[in-house]
A = this chain, B = another copy of it.
Amino acid sequence: MQPAVRTNLTASATESLRSEILSGRWGIGERVPNEATLSDLLSVSRGTVREAVRVLVSQGLLDTRQGSGTYVRSTIDSSAALDRVKRTGLRDQWEARAALDLEAARLAALRRTPADLDQMRRLLAERGNAADGGSEAFVRRDLAFHKSVVAASGNRAMMELYDFFTAAITETIHATIDGELPEPDQQAHAAIVDAIAASDPDRAVAAVRAFMAPVLAQLERLLSQ
């Protein structure tokens, strides 16, 4: 059956306003109608208009100035990109992070400093193979190591994204398949460090790919159920 339409006045008002802005009805810097007028145009109360406007302000599309009016700041909607990424599936997020892991390892092999290398080796040693101090602490130590590899790439954009994906993936896994993924052993981790230490980008990529394959395979198996 067709699901009943659950309407939400504020959401409708927000989308109406957004589409008017994106369509260019008002140019950048131009003033949009005041709250009372928008209230009439959208047939909702001023409070609802204010909530809609506030959302668009937070997304960088509008700009309110007390005593003056509300103005169009931008007609490009880019703020929701990562929100949409969060709503994609676990497999997609995992693969995207793996793409970062791969290229970061390659760049790390080309650029790592001795300090980077020390850091990676230290974190790998601290990581341990067993779940000392609880699985949560172990996951945290494991992530610290992987992040140090990305950090050795010297690429801040990839570091930021890696953090984002790690948080998003952790959240999703907790909500779904908690704790059923295989954990590559210390040797698989060491292979990555060795390749980076040897400044061998191709071997670094191969090591990460070998590392990822069994985890991704298990992930696909779990998700297909």
Asked if A75 CB lies within 8 Å of chain B CBs, one says yes
Total identical chains: 2
Smallest distance from the beta carbon of A48 to chain B beta carbons, Å?
10
A100 to B161, CA, bound (A): 12
The answer to whether A99 and B89 have CB atoms under 8 Å apart is no
Asked if A81 meets B160 with Cβ closer than 8 Å, knowing A54-B10, A98-B103, the reply is yes
Asked if A157 CB lies within 8 Å of chain B CBs, one says yes
Asked if A168 CB lies within 8 Å of chain B CBs, one says yes
Residues 140-183 of A contacting B (Cβ, < 8 Å): 155-158, 160-161, 163-164, 167-168, 171, 174-175
Instruction: Name the B residues within 8 Å of A91 (CB-CB).
Output: 155
The answer to whether A60 and B81 have CB atoms under 8 Å apart is no
Partner of A82, one of B55, B58, B82, B167: B82
Asked if A51 CB lies within 8 Å of chain B CBs, one says yes
The answer to whether B58 and A59 have CB atoms under 8 Å apart is yes
Smallest distance from the beta carbon of A12 to chain B beta carbons, Å?
13
The answer to whether A92 and B156 have CB atoms under 8 Å apart is yes
Smallest distance from the beta carbon of A62 to chain B beta carbons, Å?
12
Asked if A86 meets B78 with Cβ closer than 8 Å, knowing A51-B54, A54-B10, the reply is yes
Chain B: CB-nearest residue to A81 = B164
Asked if A79 CB lies within 8 Å of chain B CBs, one says yes
A98 to B102, CA, bound (A): 11
Partner of A86, one of B10, B76, B86, B107: B76
